[in-house]
């Protein structure tokens, strides 16, 4: 039988260790440290095709992650995808003429939205919309176009 003081100290250490583990998972393993999503603002963009973009996919500027996709909707009148992006409050100086493109990280990687800042002096606010968009590059289309142009080019060469 242990002394009751010692028992309390050991159990206290155990609980502290458990909480430290949770803290480590939160800060080191998960995205809690990089992006909390609470203090940011939401902007939207319309795309003709979003390819494999998903909710929680990253949003980057110059390759730096600044936010993530919070919602993907569909506009029944224009038949466009409406993508809402939650941008961290630290990056609140995106000009209103920023453009958005959907890229793929690597050949098989996930898709993400890359923002390209323009030159306007006004900044995007909560609920603002990115007007200039470029849809996802769908691999099948690219290959189709490539084969088509190859065939054409081949025809020329003949």
Partner 1 sequence: MIGTIRKLGRWGLGGFERLGRGHIFLFHVLMGIPSVIVRFGLLVQQMLSVGVLSLLIIVVSGLFVGMVLGLQGYNTLVDFGAEQSLGVVVALSLVRELGPVVASLLFAGRAGSALTAEIGLMKSTEQLSGMEMMAVDPVKRVIAPRFLAGFISLPLLATIFSAVGVIGGYFVGVGLLGVDDGAFWSQMQAKVDFSEDIMNGVIKSIVFGFVVTWIAVFEGYDCIPTSEGVSRATTRTVVHSALAILSLDFVLTALMFGNI
Residues that bind partner 1 in the complex, under the rule CB under 8 A: 2, 4, 7-8, 10-11, 14-15, 17-22, 24-26, 28-34, 56, 58, 65, 108
| Six token digits for residue 86 | 């939650």
- Residue 150: CB minimum distance to partner 1, A: 26
Please identify, using beta-carbon distances, which residue of 27 and 132 lies nearer to partner 1.
27
DSSP one-letter string for 3-22: -HHHHHHHHHHHHHHHHHHH
- Residue 136: CB minimum distance to partner 1, A: 19
Please identify, using beta-carbon distances, which residue of 29 and 62 lies nearer to partner 1.
29
Rounded CA gap, 120 and 130, in Å? 13
Rounded CA gap, 67 and 84, in Å? 11
Rounded CA gap, 36 and 84, in Å? 16
Length of the chain: 158
| Six token digits for residue 23 | 């803290």
- Residue 87: CB minimum distance to partner 1, A: 16
Please identify, using beta-carbon distances, which residue of 6 and 77 lies nearer to partner 1.
6
- Residue 67: CB minimum distance to partner 1, A: 12
- Residue 2: CB minimum distance to partner 1, A: 7
Please identify, using beta-carbon distances, which residue of 14 and 74 lies nearer to partner 1.
14
Rounded CA gap, 145 and 63, in Å? 28
Q: Please say whether the beta carbons of 137 and 104 come within 8 A.
A: yes
């Amino acid at each position: 039988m242990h002394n009751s003081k010692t028992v309390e100290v050991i159990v206290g250490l155990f609980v502290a260790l458990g909480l430290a583990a949770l803290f480590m998972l939160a800060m080191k393993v998960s995205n809690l440290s990089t992006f909390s999503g609470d203090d940011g603002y939401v902007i939207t963009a319309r795309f003709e095709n979003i390819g494999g973009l998903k909710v929680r996919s990253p949003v980057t500027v110059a390759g730096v992650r600044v936010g993530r996709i919070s919602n993907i909707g569909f506009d029944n009148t224009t038949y466009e995808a409406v993508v809402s992006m939650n941008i961290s409050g630290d990056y609140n100086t995106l000009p209103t003429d920023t453009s958005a493109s959907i890229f793929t990280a690597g050949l098989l990687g996930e898709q993400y939205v890359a923002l390209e800042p323009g030159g306007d002096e006004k900044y995007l606010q909560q609920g603002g919309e990115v007007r200039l968009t470029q849809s996802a590059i769908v691999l099948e289309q690219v290959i189709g176009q490539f084969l088509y142009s190859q065939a054409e080019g081949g025809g020329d060469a003949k």
